[in-house]
Structure 1
Amino acid sequence: MSPETLPSWPDAAPDLIAIAAGRAPAETVIRGGRVVLVHTREVLDWQVAIARGRFAYVGPDASHCIGPETEVVEADGRYLIPGLCDAHMHVESGMLTPAEFAAAVIPHGTTTMFTDPHEIANVLGLGGVRLMHDEARGLPCSMFVQMPSCAPSAPGLETTGREIGPEDVAEAMTWPGIVGLGEMMNFPGVAAGDPKMLAEMAATARVGKIIGGHYASPDLGPAFHAYAAGGPADDHEGTCEADAVARVRQGMRSMMRLGSAWYDVEAQITAVTEKGLDPRNFILCTDDCMAGTLVRDGHMDRVLRHAIATGCDPLVALQMATLNTATHFGLERELGSIAPGRRADLILTSSLTELPIERVAALGQWVARDGEMTVPCPHIDWPEPARATVNMARDLTAADFDIPAPEGANEVRARVIGVVENQAPTKALSRDLPVRDGRVQGDALTGGDTCQIALVERHRATGAVTNAFVAGFGYDRPVAMASTVAHDSHHMIVVGTCRDHMARAANRLRALGGGVTLFAEGEERATVPLPIAGLMSDSPAAEVAAQAEALMQAMRDAGCTLNNAYMQHSLLALVVIPELRISDMGLVDVTKFELTDLIET
């Protein structure tokens, strides 16, 4: 069963009614378990009957639904909980295709995902979104797609491979798997009444679909209120209780994320656990999870355990990962609960706090058991244009990474991007940096923590390289890491302490056709090939996770101590999250949304 073959509720209703009434047998009956009803936060010794991918009967005794061919499953006292929903995430952040991402997370109990493929949109445009949509439609789970809204994310401050406009949004709204508009990252544009942003939101609202939010500013004054008035229905960029409270007070849903590098649940969930606000308006999500996190730690089950560990009632936390999400997207009658007519997505688990994911059903069929998939996740045939996206004019040399100093200077005051561990925002720092041979130098090899950072244009083969400085990685030897994942424009981003290593890493990715690589002390230490759009691999998650872990170890070996430092690396070009970022146009002051000089005067 897949979303393409799942019958609609009206089409399935005659059969479901007949089964619930005892006139026809169910395909599957599960008995002997404890059913968690998220609508009422009750746990009852009930039974369920399933047919045509949906729940037909949920009640105290399903014996009247059993026929000669019915599969009867004994739950042996385990809990039946709804399949988990990820309300906001990006498949590409896992370095995996939709099929391989699904294969990685379904065994962890995630049966529904709401994904915004704006990463591939920046590289391949509407055609790339369609490829993601089409692969998602054939999976044995529910993967809904939000049409990306902002490519580029900040017009005038970056150049993307492709652009998305209102006409693209209007076309995508006609596709069967599109559930709404992806995160509206251009929050200054919305607050200023930008016609393009308003047209995209209008095209979404006219067909009754949800507009995703992204308000990445601490300013909760008139600009925030103007943004809320524009129509975004949720936001996942909050980092503290005040952020969560401000959003729900404006009628938005607060999406609290726990990704590979974003730890924002604990600081915000106190709005429910301590302040006592209505939990129906709070939702759990991941946003960005790398393959290593998925394979090693889990997906939405990890978020749910974390929310419970912070003091949230397990049944309230479960609502935040199931029913609240379904309700938000207008799909409460379709999924998010164990109730008649809904998609038969459920988990068998022996604990509501530890959440061992022992067996998983999605769309009415058993899809995973004891951490392993039991059905395939079909792939589409990814075309060659999606695999040939690293378009550099030439190989680079160390000279491409030179930062000229003002004439006669022995030292300069430079603006430096400051990495903040476990959070998406950066800090705008100022550092006094040395000058040698007329070039400004980082100080990471002389006792400091300032490296060079460069953005290498890779969409139109212009040969352009933008250079700046970044602090926080802790590298203490000749090293460079390059990645064609550089949210959101996805040029090539290179961070290093040695210009020669930076050139070698960039050239390696040019030859490879995309990915991530780290060179240290003259040698290639680790590489993750990402042949699809320079963002994703179609290899299994475990294989990609092993490559990614080798990369993380190589970063640690080079002196980096940040948690999930690769994610921090890849977001340094995200010019819609304060305070300071790099783009192909220069250094961007995201507090003002304008380009700024690298060298302070």
Structure 2
Amino acid sequence: MYMLKGNLLNLFTEEIYPAEVEIQGGLIKCIREVDEEFKNYILPGFIDAHIHIESSMLTPSRFAEAVVPHGTTAVVADPHEIANVLGISGIKYMMNDASTVPLRFFFTAPSCVPATPFETSGAVLGPREIDELLQLDDVVALGEMMNFPGVVGEDPTVLEKIKIAHQYSKPVDGHAPLLSGDDLCKYIGTGISTDHECSVMEEAMEKKRLGMKIMIREGSSAKNLEELWKVGGDFLVSDDRHPEDLLKGHLNHTLKKAVQLGIDPVEAIRMVTVNPSTHYNLDTGLLSPGKRADLILVNDLENFNVKKVFINGELVAREGKALFNVKPLPIENTFHLKTLKPSDFEINPMRTGNATVRVIKVMEGQLLTEESEANLEIVDGALKADPEQDVLKIGVVERYGNNHVANGFVNGFSLDKGAIASSVAHDSHNIIVVGTSSEDMALAVNTLKNNRGGLVAVCDDDIHSLKLPVAGLMSTMSADEVSLQMNLLHEVVKDMGCKLVSPFRTMSFMALLVIPQLKISDQGLFDVGSFQFVDVIK
């Protein structure tokens, strides 16, 4: 038996009073008001209601090591990144590695593997696989339904997956950036209940008025809290978080920013405790007799500095340090591709002179892109990048044995020389590469192949890399070690001329065909608005 004392924030009555929480057998046995004075506050442990662990580049166990000291005691994780690489066996790897640490991992069944039929993935999850996953107790929902055109267009396979989730009385998460009007009504009408892709107030309000629960996202790439906090969201979520950001904080950091912006502290805390607990029917997130003793001690309700963290009644972190050991599980090699040549990254228009091309235009801090155009010179039969215009080459190399390569052009990376490449390329996680020359692009991709995945920067024949051997997505190193190597890579890329805050993260979303406007897969340049391939040359 353990007795925790402090100022209790009661989320049932919105009161704050001195209390003692009696913990026995991993559960809360009783909560009593006491006549004492305290400087600390007792809160339910924080729950991240929507996150992709793989995007932290850490295994689940290493992720837990990083976030538990910040007060996170549970996450609802969508493992669709590793599912695109390894299918159900990848999801089971996540579950097995997660089971070795105290953090409570709940999962969603990835609904879109692959995200679209216009890319090559390492696996396909159909209705049969979704049914198998949703029968598992730790799988609490159908993961974000990114194929909103399929929902609106009444694709029978898509609708069958949603139907199976309803049969198991499990919610369906949404993903519908900029969807509006009658199409949005049709999307919500299938029973999809959440959305985390709102980027402007008007979009969030329209969805909220139609009954959707709004997840306000504050991640490493997309930061929507400042724009959306006045809408009155239901959840504060991360979606994607870099390891260097996790070292600074997790949901405690988001809560601090929310309160600074003007959200009432009690309401903000509800968004990371009670709301996800009730929506996903979790056994945590509430301070009540009989509930799991997952609770934290913080210094105040403004800064949310976490002093102690309890999961299942056990002290698992103190003063920013995890009190449990981590030993990530190994995994098989997932790279099957030939050695690339510079010619694999050439676009040959079969004419001389110049050509006008479509260009993916990157926007800092957004997953959205725009379409622009450029006039490029044809030299020795191939279109050349123009670093002076900041029009660089971009390619996607399929890594599952078919050896597809697609090429295009991109604006916004500002590289003066060299190339950068990554095996993190949402959502099918083929290899994506941006560079000033075909030679450097080939060298970067071949280095990734030899490293069994990761991030690479090639500059003046010097090679800098971060290895991600777990499905090409995650490292077995700690957040500190990954962050250190990531920061070194960022410095190298900055010296190459790039002005983006997170160049590798930005590049990884250039292959995400479900977020407008112009993207690229291993099969070609893709217009998300018309949901079809378009020619590079106009």
TM-score range, shorter chain: over 0.9
Q: AA paired with 1:162? A: A
Runs of 5+ unmatched residues, structure 1: 1-26, 63-73, 273-280
Report SS of the residue matched to 2:396.
strand
Pair 1:474 & 2:414 matched: yes
CA offsets, 1:289-345, max 9 Å, x none? 0111111x21111211121122111221111111111122123xx222222222112
**Within-5 A mapping of 1:212-361:** 212-216=173-177, 218-272=178-232, 282-295=234-247, 297-331=248-282, 334-361=283-310
Q: AA paired with 1:484? A: S
Give 2:517's aligned residue. Answer: 579
Moved more, 198-207 or 432-441: 432-441
Aligned with 1:566 (options 483, 504, 523): 504
Q: AA paired with 1:246? A: E
Give 1:502's aligned residue. Answer: 441
User: C-alpha displacement at 1:37, in angstroms?
Assistant: 1.4
Q: AA paired with 1:97? A: T
Contact 2:422 2:504 in 1 (8 A): no
Pair 1:596 & 2:537 matched: no
Aligned mates of 2:212, 2:423 — CA distance in 1 = 34
Q: AA paired with 1:321? A: V
Q: AA paired with 1:434? A: E
Give 2:154's aligned residue. Answer: 193
Pair 1:159 & 2:120 matched: yes
Contact 1:80 1:346 in 2 (8 A): yes
Pair 1:150 & 2:112 matched: yes
Pair 1:80 & 2:42 matched: yes
Contact 2:50 2:78 in 1 (8 A): yes
Aligned mates of 2:69, 2:377 — CA distance in 1 = 52
Aligned mates of 2:301, 2:455 — CA distance in 1 = 38
Aligned mates of 2:260, 2:341 — CA distance in 1 = 50
Contact 1:191 1:230 in 2 (8 A): no
Aligned mates of 2:489, 2:128 — CA distance in 1 = 40
Give 2:392's aligned residue. Answer: 451
Contact 1:93 1:290 in 2 (8 A): yes
Pair 1:550 & 2:495 matched: no
Aligned mates of 1:213, 1:575 — CA distance in 2 = 16
User: C-alpha displacement at 1:378, in angstroms?
Assistant: 5.6
Report SS of the residue matched to 1:269.
helix
Aligned mates of 1:203, 1:541 — CA distance in 2 = 37
Aligned mates of 1:47, 1:423 — CA distance in 2 = 45
Q: Say if 1:186 and 1:111 are closer, same or farther in 2 by CA, change over 3 A.
A: same
Aligned mates of 1:75, 1:457 — CA distance in 2 = 62
User: C-alpha displacement at 1:61, in angstroms?
Assistant: 3.6
Contact 1:137 1:177 in 2 (8 A): no
CA offsets, 1:548-584, max 9 Å, x none? 1111121212111212222111111011110011011
Give 2:457's aligned residue. Answer: 518
Contact 2:7 2:38 in 1 (8 A): no
Aligned with 1:420 (options 352, 355, 363): 363
Aligned mates of 2:22, 2:162 — CA distance in 1 = 40
Contact 1:116 1:148 in 2 (8 A): yes
Contact 1:578 1:589 in 2 (8 A): yes
Total equivalences in the alignment: 538
User: C-alpha displacement at 1:87, in angstroms?
Assistant: 0.6
Contact 1:347 1:357 in 2 (8 A): yes
Report SS of the residue matched to 1:341.
coil
Q: Work out the percentage of aligned pairs sharing the same amino acid.
A: 38
Contact 2:71 2:309 in 1 (8 A): yes
Q: AA paired with 1:44? A: Y
**Within-5 A mapping of 1:480-495:** 480-495=419-434
Contact 2:347 2:407 in 1 (8 A): yes
Aligned mates of 1:508, 1:165 — CA distance in 2 = 33
Aligned mates of 1:57, 1:423 — CA distance in 2 = 46
Q: AA paired with 2:49? A: A
User: C-alpha displacement at 1:166, in angstroms?
Assistant: 0.4
Report SS of the residue matched to 1:45.
strand
TM-score by length of 2: 0.97
Report SS of the residue matched to 1:571.
helix
Larger radius of gyration: 1
Q: AA paired with 1:391? A: H
Report SS of the residue matched to 1:358.
strand
Moved more, 336-345 or 584-593: 336-345
